[in-house]
Chains A and B, each alone.
Chain A
Amino acid sequence: MTLIISVFEQGFIYAIMALGIYITYKILDFPDLTVDGSFPMGAAITAVMINAGIPAVLTLPVAFLAGGFVGMLTGVIHVKLHVRDLLSGIIMMTALYTVNLRIAGKANLPFYNQPTVFDNDAVNGFFPEGMRDFQTVIILLVITAVVKLLLDWYMGTKSGFLLRAVGNNDTLVTSLGVDKGRVRIAGLSIANALVTLGGCLFAQQQRYFDVTMGTGTMVIGLASVIIGTSLFRKVTFMKVTTAVILGSVIYKACVAVAIRLGLAASDMKLVTAVLFLIILVLSMDKKRKVAS
């Protein structure tokens, strides 16, 4: 039971991050490695704020905005300085490693006894004693649902239309008299804001920040996006954002099963890589396989 709850908890947290990666990878067609740095940045900011006694709920908007800023920088490096997409992300990821260490002050910063968004006087008073085990997962469900609905709403606005158009056919965006570079920057900004928010929630669920916790964020997020979008491709009534969230939960379940089968936590990166490879190969179109 605890295992299932934990799968959902982590699945929802990573889902928020995966929604960001969905924007960069699927919509903007931009493999953004910044996320390996912006995810732990969310955790670092959270750890420092909570240790300073700032109400936990404030960490969410701060992390979100900080992530937006970092994503904007990646966009500016790519669009204005004409650095290739992958390299722009790698530059930012590398820079953020130091930034994260500076924010936290050290490589590992725990906050075991401080209140978090999942565990503070207000929510503890709201949930009855018997619900304690489900408290975190319910709060996460609500946050994830709100993020999903906001993102769905945004994608239906004029600005969201433009974002979808720029990854699809940027010539059209220019024809519409709009600077495609600025649309890209905005997209990267929103994506990293979501990833950093994921990092913020992850830190509060784990109750620590660790400078290495971002390694593999991109791969985990991509795996979730690809699982979700390819498994539920045929389910036409389901929104892509919902599919990504489910993909993230399924991915976490696979990892939990792997651990259950006796793999050590230190094997996880290899498991992640192999899982990702399998998912990638399985999800490829038949056509593309024939072509290669």
Chain B
Amino acid sequence: MLELLHIDKTYNPGTVNELCFFKDFNLKINTGEFVSVVGSNGSGKTSMLNIICGSMDIDGGRVVMNDADISKQKDFLRHRRIGRVFQDPSKGTCPEMTIMENMSLAENKGHPYNLSRGAAKMRRDYFRSLLAPLELGLEDKMDIKVGTLSGGQRQSLALLMSTMTPIDFLILDEHTAALDPKTAEKIMILTDKIVREKHLTTIMVTHNLRYAVEYGDRLLMMHEGRVIIDKSGEEKKKMEMGEILKKFDEISLEYGN
């Protein structure tokens, strides 16, 4: 379970550009929930993820993960239980290292990075078996540097790497936004499969309203640092694209987006 309690966040405090972003923001995400989050630019979606992951400090309030207050915990410590996939496919992998080396790094998450062999040959077949279902032919490119792969291939690998070890939460930060529609679709199907198989509590920020409606069991729409739509379960299933789009247009028009 993940809770954001009474979060306050102000950008550039004390200057003319002061911008109050979150004021008494509250959100509770239950274990096993797959939450999709939509909202216009600057609505606070990515800021919320950054606050959860510890890449952004908060001015007030608490972040509580599985009943433990992690507000003061450093970002890298929080990531031991969080897997994260970014919009930019290059952020989730090491371009100068091979697929084999990248997967070996990812598999060791949670264990000490000591002086034992970095890439164990005996894991090779296992890694190949993970890559094969992607149907991208990556299993035959184990010794190729990741930097030479396409964006879609890298993002698939990043998604796989972020979920290789046992984690409690999966954070997807517009992870299909930089991909072409067909690849994005494939990544979404893969995401859904991994989330279901591993029962991961997932927060997915997306600009694609259709994905938000089709995937996940709870939908949030954010606007100006507030949650303006929050539907889950049966309520969400009954929701239609048109309804969300209408609401989206309302807030967009209002602010000339």
Q: How far is the CA of A220 from the CA of B139 in the complex (A)?
A: 42
Q: How far is the CA of A156 from the CA of B113 in the complex (A)?
A: 11
Are B79 and A159 closer than 8 Å at their CB atoms?
Answer: no
Option from A154, A165, A168, A177 in Cβ contact (under 8 Å) with B77: A177
B84 sits at the interface (CB 8 A):
yes
Chain B residues within an 8 Å CB radius of A176? 79, 105-106, 108-109
A residues 142-180 touching B (CB-CB < 8 Å): 154, 156-162, 164-165, 168-169, 171-180
Chain A residues within an 8 Å CB radius of B183? none
Contact with B along A185-197 (1 / 0, CB 8 A): 0000000000000
What is the interface of chain B mostly: helix, strand, loop, or mixed? loop
Q: How far is the CA of A31 from the CA of B106 in the complex (A)?
A: 28
B residues 82-131 touching A (CB-CB < 8 Å): 83-84, 86, 90-97, 101, 104-106, 108-110, 112-119
Are B101 and A161 closer than 8 Å at their CB atoms?
Answer: yes
Count of inter-chain pairs, beta carbons less than 8 A = 81
Contact with B along A52-93 (1 / 0, CB 8 A): 000000000000000000000000000000000000000000
- Size class of the contact patch on chain A: 20 to 34
Option from B79, B86, B93, B97 in Cβ contact (under 8 Å) with A161: B97
Chain A residues within an 8 Å CB radius of B105? 158, 161-162, 165, 172, 176
B residues 142-178 touching A (CB-CB < 8 Å): 162
Are B113 and A178 closer than 8 Å at their CB atoms?
Answer: yes
Q: How far is the CA of A7 from the CA of B90 in the complex (A)?
A: 43
Are B92 and A158 closer than 8 Å at their CB atoms?
Answer: no
Asked whether A174 and B79 contact (CB < 8 A) given A159-B113, A159-B115, the answer is: yes
Residue numbers of B with Cβ under 8 A of A are 55, 74-77, 79-80, 83-84, 86, 90-97, 101, 104-106, 108-110, 112-119, 162
Residue numbers of A with Cβ under 8 A of B are 154, 156-162, 164-165, 168-169, 171-180
- Knowing that A165-B97, A174-B79, A177-B76 touch, tell me 12 more A-B residue pairs with CB under 8 angstroms: A157-B115, A157-B116, A157-B118, A158-B104, A158-B117, A159-B114, A162-B113, A168-B97, A169-B95, A172-B105, A176-B79, A177-B109
